[in-house]
Amino acid sequence: MSPRSHALLDLDPAVVRRARSLARKAGKPVVDLATAHTTVSVERATLRLAGLTGADHDGTPWVNHLVDAVRAEVGLEHGVTTPVWDALRRDAAPDLLTLAQKASSGGVTFRLPDGKDATAARKAARKDVAAGVRTLDRQHAARDRFVRKVGDAPRTPWIYLIVATGDIHEDIPQARAAAHAGADVIAVIRSTGQSLLDFVPEGATREGYAGTYATQENFRLMRAALDETSRELGRYVRLTNYASGLCMPEIAVLAGLERLDMMLNDSMYGILFRDINPIRTFVDQRFSRQVHARAGIIINTGEDNYLTTADAVEAAHTVTVSQLLNEYFAKEAGLEDWQLGLGHAFEIDPEVPQSFRLELAHALLARQLFPKAPLKWMPPTKHMTGDVFRGYLLDGFFNLVGAMTGQGILLVGMMTEAVVTPWISDRDLALQNVRYVMDAAGGLTEDFHPPRDGFVQTRAREVLDEAVGLLEGIVSDTSAKGSTYPQPLLAAIADGTFGAMKRPPTAGKGLDGVAVKADDYDNPAITLLEEGSTR
């Protein structure tokens, strides 16, 4: 991304400060809500950090069995680690795996210890979980060393390309071919519906649907293949997957353990587009982002999805509001600017007059509001018609906006969008489109200076003002007072403010997996991540 693209809009600094202040006011009560709750997935992720892996003969992970057994006997509100390590200290089993196996058949009794027994159990749990956090640290350091050794992508934006056949062993050659053709980031789309599974599948998978299952073994296989490709190319090829859905914290942990580089991780995507309970989502996303922060993983947020269900002009300010909220939630969880792949998209109807200029204004606004973030710029999808020639032209315009506004991560558009799952040849043509535009116009940020009161400047200020107005409305809304969950942001989500989707906090998938923390709640993973320590 070009630093010269960061000051092209004459935005009022006071308005920008006001926008961020309002985002904090809207987000802080939700953070307080998240820190007061835990979920089954947070507890399972903690056990994964302690080394518990594997699944039974039916494919149910042992972490699910163990958390379910503890929850059935003593509840989730105290955290699972104290009763689990108390059972280990009482010689209920020699190790975590055996304990989980015995618990799955009712062969273990759990209790809530007190006094010295509780202190000893917590100390033992912290020691074992710390080993997993140290692995995150080692993988973070290993990435940095590898990038220094083989070299980084020679230019920005990073070119981001999707592969996913359903079969990890088919994905690998496609990913390697894409990297050789110029892709800097390989994203493996998850199998349709995985976000709604309340367990993480085990092992290498060969039968996904419109995508490939996210599993630890699939992560390991693809990372190893792309490491080999990185050595061949003399530049580091990054790997992306999805930390979203009901198992967001667990997938974040697995990504950190296997050295993935980016993860899709939006604060509201699962709520709006998968009908996952809002409280479950906010609790899970905070923990997952703490893991990403520690592992040095860049998150990609999902604001582009709003524009597939709402009009891209009328709802442009909701994208800005979501970006500001995602920034607040991410930084509160420990992520740094360089890890904030905030999302936006080229989704205005091409029939709208001046659509290209509007796209320029929206992209430049995002770029200037978040000058240090590697923004993720998404190609047209909603208005792709199946006319591949028109689609190829739209993708070229999308690439040109990316060049003119200095985007950080550019997802390659496909002219066969809305027709078929792209062939390798389609991807090759799409990469040629990107390379041509970037080679021919990559320096346009030096020359592009929209006039002070021209169309682009005026539109950008208009969207920012509308975003501030929406945030003011959210923060001042008192309609939720007296309800079970009085947070104004939750009320706004319930009202359909984002993506035209109405999602109340008392409904949605996964609500039964949420628990209010007791006074004696303990989770060594959260403690270690917040302390920045593995002692």
pLDDT at 392: 95
pLDDT at 370: 96
pLDDT at 533: 53
> pTM higher than 0.85 for the full model?
yes
Query: Taking the CB of residue 396, how many other CB atoms lie within 10 A of it?
Result: 15
Catalytic annotation on 275? Answer: no
Tokens of 168: 């990890």
Catalytic annotation on 149? Answer: no
pLDDT at 534: 52
Asked if residue 173 has a cis previous peptide bond (ω within 30° of 0), the answer is no
- Strand-pairing partners, residue 509, are 276
pLDDT digits (tens, 9 = 90+) for 178-230: 999 999 999 999 999 999 999 999 999 999 988 999 999 999 999 999 999 99
pLDDT digits (tens, 9 = 90+) for 41-55: 999 999 999 999 999
The whole-angstrom separation of Cα 507 and Cα 127 is 37
Q: In this structure, what DSSP letter does residue 303 have? A: G
**Catalytic entry in 304, 395, 426, 522:** 304
Low-confidence ranges of the chain (pLDDT < 50): 1-5, 535
pLDDT at 485: 73
**Catalytic entry in 236, 306, 376, 392:** 376
What is the full DSSP assignment across 167-235?
-HHHHHHHHHHHHHTT-SEEEEPPPTTGGG-SS---S-----SSS----HHHHHHHHHHHHHHHHHHTS
Tokens of 295: 């592992």
Catalytic annotation on 116? Answer: no
Cβ burial of 58 (10 Å; 0-12, 13-18, 19+) is exposed
**Catalytic entry in 160, 269, 328, 392:** 269
